[in-house]
Amino acid sequence: MPIEGATIYILLCADGSYYTGLTRKDVDERVSEHNNGTYDGYTATRRPVRLIWSAHFERLTEA
């Protein structure tokens, strides 16, 4: 479900690398999508991932 503003987040991947993302969804929902392999991309072969930092901004341009 879309929320107001945007959240920038950093994930720690299983291989020790980091992934930075930006979402307008709930950040926990987005992390679940990464762990479930919902989309192809960087984290798809580096699961599981763990949220290590996030910050919410009221405006996308502030993120």
- Return the domain boundaries, the chain: 6-62
pLDDT above 90: percentage of residues in the chain: 86
2 pLDDT higher than 80: no
CA distances from residue 45 to 40, 52, 57 in whole angstroms, order as listed: 9, 19, 29
Section 19-40 average pLDDT = 96
User: Rounded to an integer, what distance in angstroms lies between the CA atom of residue 29 and that of residue 51?
Assistant: 11
pLDDT, tens digit (0-9, with 9 covering 90-100), for 35-61: 999 999 999 999 999 999 999 999 878
Find the length of the chain: 63
